[in-house]
Amino acid sequence: MDYSIGTLVLFPAVAVAAPPLVRLLSRWVAIPLVVFEILLGLVLGPAVLGWIVPDDLTAFFADFGLAMLFFLAGNEIDFHAIRGRPLTRAAIGWIISLAAGLGIATLFAHDLAAAGFIGIALTSTALGTIMPVLRDSGDLRTPFGVSVVAIGAIGEFGPLLAISLFLSGRSPLTAALVLVAFAVIAGAAIWLAARGEGRRLHRIINATLHTSGQFGVRLVVLVLVALVALSVELDLDMLLGAFTAGVLYRLILSGAPEHDVEVIEGKVEALGYGFLVPIFFIATGVTFDLEALVNDIRTLVLLPVFVVLFLVVRGVPSMLAAPRGSSRRDLAATALFGATGLPIIVAVTAIGVDRGELSSGLAAALVGAGMLSVLLFPLTALALHRRSADAASRRADDEHVPAEG
């Protein structure tokens, strides 16, 4: 395996430097950590300074980091909380997004295959990016947060299904049969976990919680690798297996003591967000084709065009899932959260470039637009939601103020 010692050291160095630098810059401008990691990778990579050179080893860890990001997203979804109206209306919104995305993509693509890649990229939502924002703001369990999580769940799972069905290189019928085979195997595991079969493992997890055994963390790795391997063996997108693994592991832990679950989740998040996930985002910056983006003015113009299309194609239909009676600000905030996308955009465009269906410039414009969406949309959405909540609170206070005289 080809690798460079300098690159191997610089990746964790960038990962360590990013959080304090973001914290320092937050006094003047709020920059999401993932965007800063991508920007540092871009500056230190071949496009600017050339200190970091892509190699096989970091590419392997970056792929594993992307898989871990989707595992964590699947693991954090509480399907009991989002079932019913939020999930149903989020699914309807995503279907509208898919139809609109594929239709609009034909304007930028040279053939139907390229339109498929662009259209699916336009329908994604970065659940793994927006959930920490909602959690930190205290909105994750509110009706607004539940609707956004439903949008994000469909916005990640829907594109993964579409990739497996339409971009696998098989006929749609064959792809559907293979997908059904994966669903049967994964569904059987999920059904067993939902029945409580995983409770037999809880005692072992508890007994090794603070020992070198670390059975719970090792089980995470096994579930993740097993379902990723299954999806790869069936020639499906590996992220489908990673996302499903997260859902499965959450069910395995259901019924375990709350303290044990919190400890295990903390350790898994440490493994993901502390090690693997940053490598993916840094590698995204390192491999970003800046030259292809800036050397052609037509390609550069596409970057803001795609940002607007994320709002039109993905954001507007996402408003269907907003809670009943939402204010205009909350509707706009819902649209902005729904239109936030990056990981699937990176994955879809990488597949398209590898197959020769997308040019490097077009892929760079889509990824660049995804980076801008992560930079701009969540923070704007959160500000709108807070203003809406403050306005609702003032109205409630006014209604309870007794009339004078």
74: helix, strand or coil: helix
- Calculate the alpha carbon distances from 7 to 33, 39, 48, 238, 285 in Å: 21, 16, 15, 26, 13
Which residues neighbour 108 within 8 Å (Cβ) at sequence distance 6 or greater?
A: 114, 115, 118, 302, 362
Question: How far apart, in Å, do the first and last CA atoms of the chain sit?
Answer: 84
Q: What is the pLDDT of residues 177-230, one digit of tens each?
A: 887 888 787 778 777 776 766 677 888 888 888 888 888 889 888 989 998 898
Residues in the chain: 405
Q: Is 396 contained in some domain?
A: no
Q: Is 350 contained in some domain?
A: yes
- Please say if the pLDDT value at position 116 is more than 70: yes
Whole-number pLDDT of residue 404: 46
Q: Is 395 contained in some domain?
A: no
Q: How confident is the model at residue 89 (pLDDT cuts 50, 70, 90)?
A: very high
Q: Is 402 contained in some domain?
A: no
Contact 279, 11 (CB under 8 A): yes
Q: Is 30 contained in some domain?
A: yes
Q: What is the mean pLDDT of residues 26-30?
A: 77
Q: What is the mean pLDDT of residues 255-269?
A: 86
Which residues neighbour 230 within 8 Å (Cβ) at sequence distance 6 or greater?
A: 182, 185, 186, 241
Tokens of 384: 């709108």
Neighbours of 213 (CB within 10 A): 13
For residue 266, give the amino acid letter: G
Q: What is the mean pLDDT of residues 342-354?
A: 86
Q: Is 362 contained in some domain?
A: yes
Taking alpha carbons only, the member of 48, 40, 35, 32 closest to residue 14 is 40
Q: What is the mean pLDDT of residues 42-71?
A: 88
Q: Is 355 contained in some domain?
A: yes
Taking alpha carbons only, the member of 89, 248, 86, 90 closest to residue 156 is 90
**Mean predicted lDDT score pLDDT of the chain:** 85
What is the span of the domain harbouring residue 275? 5-388
Give the angle subtended at the CA of 84 by the CAs of 147 and 197, to the nearest 5°.
Answer: 105
Q: Is 381 contained in some domain?
A: yes
Measured distance CA(12)–CA(20) in Å, rounded: 14
* CATH number of residue 298's parent domain: 1.20.1530.20
Contact 106, 115 (CB under 8 A): yes
Q: Which residues of 74-109 are buried (b: 16+ CB within 10 A; e: fewer)?
A: bbbbeeeebeeebbebbbebbebbbebbbebbeebb
- Count of structural domains, the chain: 1
